Amino acid sequence: MDALEKAGPDRAAIRDQLEKTKGFTGVSGVFNMSAEDHNGLKEDSMVLVRIENGQWY
């Protein structure tokens, strides 16, 4: 996410760049943002994992 580098200090330009974010994998899911969705996460983009004895399930 290099919105600041692309947009510079202009707040509206930063917002516009962030709204173009698609398929960004973060710690809480895969982000797909838009002008209508500034959260970027849907139910299907979340993954629940379990770690037991050092193994991921």
Number of domains within the chain: 1
Asked if residue 1 has pLDDT above 70, the reply is no
pTM comes to 0.67
Cross-strand partners of 55: 52
Predicted confidence at residue 40, as pLDDT, reads: 94
- Integer Cα distance of 26 and 22 in angstroms: 11
Give the structural domain span for 32.
3-56
Alpha-carbon gap, residue 21 to 38, rounded angstroms: 10
9 — pLDDT class (breaks 50, 70, 90): very high
